[in-house]
Amino acid sequence: FAAAADSHWNDRLERVLEQKLSAPEPTSSIESCTIDPNKKTIVVLGSGWGAISFIKALDKKVARDMFNVVVVSPRNYFLYTPLLPGVATGAIETRSIVESIRRPIAEKGFKYYEAAATGVDAQKKTVSFTNRYLTSATASKWLPNVGGGDGEGGKHKSQHFDINYDYLVVAVGAIPNTFGVPGVEQHCLFFKEVAHAAQFRSQVNARFERAALPSMSVGQIEDLLRFVVIGAGPTGVELAAELYDLVYNDVAKTFPKRLLKHVSINIVDLQDRLLSTYDRDIQNYATDFFQKANINCILNTQVKEVKQCVLTVADKNTGEEKELPFGMAVWCSGIKMNPVCEKVMDSLPEGSQPSRRALLADKAMRVKGSDGSIYGIGDCVTLEPKAYPATAQVAKQEGYYLAERFNKAAETGNYAVLDDPNAEFVYTHRGSLAYIGKDAAVADIPGVTILKGIMAGLFWKSFETVSQVSVGNSFKVGFDMLRTRIFGRDISRLM
């Protein structure tokens, strides 16, 4: 009897499975069963500075009463980018500066899907998504296709789906810009994502381990330990500064001393000073500080081509070209439009988006040509008539501002609030900060003061600790800074 029952259930199970497998795959059905048709839908693309500020500032009422809020991003966490250089050298641990996007989403009753937008149809108000993604086209070679794609031997097909929106908030950031310089993608590391910082940390360590082998010649050691950072904006400067600290604080104590005299840290830029967007006084101070620390500042210099272990550079004034050998080169030189913004532009009426550099939006962040249904925040958008720099500070304030507008709509129960022609975002610049190494920093606090040196370093450390998006992360960052000061960086190579 037991055997007969078993075979009966097995047959039934097989039939059910067969039916399931032969049924057509749903395309976009999931959204229609989970989205409340009586509410308008806000779809948010991204989980970076702009998106997280928007999500956190949205009132719970927004989701409860008037809107379905759906967030979609290939990155299921927020990344606190200003401390990424610290992560690259082990001064700060990765987990201390990332925050799961699911926490605020769950608290507010929103939805989140881990996928990337691949297309936008502004006429049908639909966004297409896939979970087969890489975080950015130019970063692809450094980033594994985790989670997406036809994983586990093709058993899990990649998923494609559409979501309809009433309001679309595009906060997809930007991607590294090579400015068409040949060889950058092949021979340089980019520096924008957690994976880049991990790659940097691992490569630096691998180079010192290799250089320490007894069979290495002086020439080989010098080749290995020649680091070049291309771009002397805040990211490049902070990365070079952190590398300097790693070498002279930690490598110096743990690796053979003889290696130190063969280390060379170089920073290349087209401008005549480091941090060229900062106050002139700060530019001068930072440039002198680096030169005194023996970080080689190769200024007024344009990178023309990157080949294996060699940069071809040209003097900006004379045009004279020369070759600059390197062991490891990091490209920190600018950003360009995320390709998904082109899809948005292509679906808007002709002539509404004259530039291909960023989405053009009005003073209240409504993307031109979209009838107020598409908003752009952060690095992916340029506001008109007043454009703001591509910084976390701007993205954050834009996110807050936009959330306030949706909160107001929810408060008044009136969607028309969003169409207010007088609505205007006004950016307040709160200052610029950059770490320059040896516990020193530079800080330009508008209308208050300019700080340089160790005092500014203390200010920078305190500011970065308290500015985390959660109290938990503030504790972790503070602890990491203390740990690094007492015990030094962890310089073991795990990958």
Which residues sit at the interface with ligand FAD, rule CB under 6 A?
Answer: 45-51, 72-75, 81-82, 84, 116-117, 135, 171-173, 191-192, 234-235, 338, 340, 378-380, 390-393, 395
Buried b (16+ CB within 10 A) or exposed e, 70-108: bbbbbbbbbbbbbbbbbbbbbbbbbebbbbebeebbeeb
Residue 410 one-letter amino acid: A
The residue (of 67 and 80) whose beta carbon lies closer to ligand FAD is 80
Cis peptide before 385 (omega within 30 of 0): yes
Give, in order, the Cα–Cα distances in Å from 178 to each of 103, 334, 427: 35, 8, 29
Q: Where are the alpha helices (DSSP H) in 181-336?
A: 184-187, 194-211, 218-224, 234-245, 252-254, 280-292
CB 202 → ligand FAD: shortest distance, Å?
Answer: 17
Which residues have a Cβ under 8 Å from the Cβ of 446 and sit 6 or more positions away? 429, 430, 431
CB 397 → ligand FAD: shortest distance, Å?
Answer: 10
CB 115 → ligand FAD: shortest distance, Å?
Answer: 7
Give, in order, the Cα–Cα distances in Å from 483 to each of 85, 89, 90, 91, 238: 17, 14, 11, 8, 20
Is residue 309 within 8 A of residue 223, CB to CB? The reply is yes
Q: Rounded to whole angstroms, how far apart are CA atoms 395 and 80?
A: 12
Is residue 170 within 8 A of residue 342, CB to CB? The reply is no
3-class DSSP state of 141:
helix
The residue (of 88 and 211) whose beta carbon lies closer to ligand FAD is 88
The residue (of 72 and 188) whose beta carbon lies closer to ligand FAD is 72
Distance of CA 2 to the CA centre of its chain: 60
The residue (of 259 and 442) whose beta carbon lies closer to ligand FAD is 442
Hunting for tokens 């360009």 — which residue is that?
336
CB 47 → ligand FAD: shortest distance, Å?
Answer: 4
The residue (of 421 and 446) whose beta carbon lies closer to ligand FAD is 446
CB 245 → ligand FAD: shortest distance, Å?
Answer: 16
The residue (of 50 and 90) whose beta carbon lies closer to ligand FAD is 50
CB 341 → ligand FAD: shortest distance, Å?
Answer: 9
Q: What are phi and psi of 4, to 5 degrees?
A: -65, -45
The residue (of 283 and 338) whose beta carbon lies closer to ligand FAD is 338
The residue (of 47 and 211) whose beta carbon lies closer to ligand FAD is 47
Of how many residues is the chain composed? 495
Is residue 76 within 8 A of residue 112, CB to CB? The reply is yes
CA angle (195, 196, 202) in 5-degree steps? 90
CB 271 → ligand FAD: shortest distance, Å?
Answer: 18
The residue (of 211 and 295) whose beta carbon lies closer to ligand FAD is 295
The residue (of 211 and 348) whose beta carbon lies closer to ligand FAD is 348
CB 42 → ligand FAD: shortest distance, Å?
Answer: 14
CB 172 → ligand FAD: shortest distance, Å?
Answer: 4
Shortest-Cβ-distance residue relative to ligand FAD: 48
Phi-psi region of 439 (alpha: psi -120 to 50; beta: other; left: phi over 0): left
Q: Rounded to whole angstroms, how far apart are CA atoms 242 and 480?
A: 14
CB 67 → ligand FAD: shortest distance, Å?
Answer: 19
Helix (H) or strand (E) holding 443: strand 440-445
Is residue 434 within 8 A of residue 88, CB to CB? The reply is no
Closest to 150 in 3D by CA, of 122, 175, 130: 130
Q: Rounded to whole angstroms, how far apart are CA atoms 9 and 309?
A: 65
CB 408 → ligand FAD: shortest distance, Å?
Answer: 22
Distance of CA 340 to the CA centre of its chain: 15
CB 156 → ligand FAD: shortest distance, Å?
Answer: 20
The residue (of 87 and 211) whose beta carbon lies closer to ligand FAD is 87
The residue (of 252 and 387) whose beta carbon lies closer to ligand FAD is 387
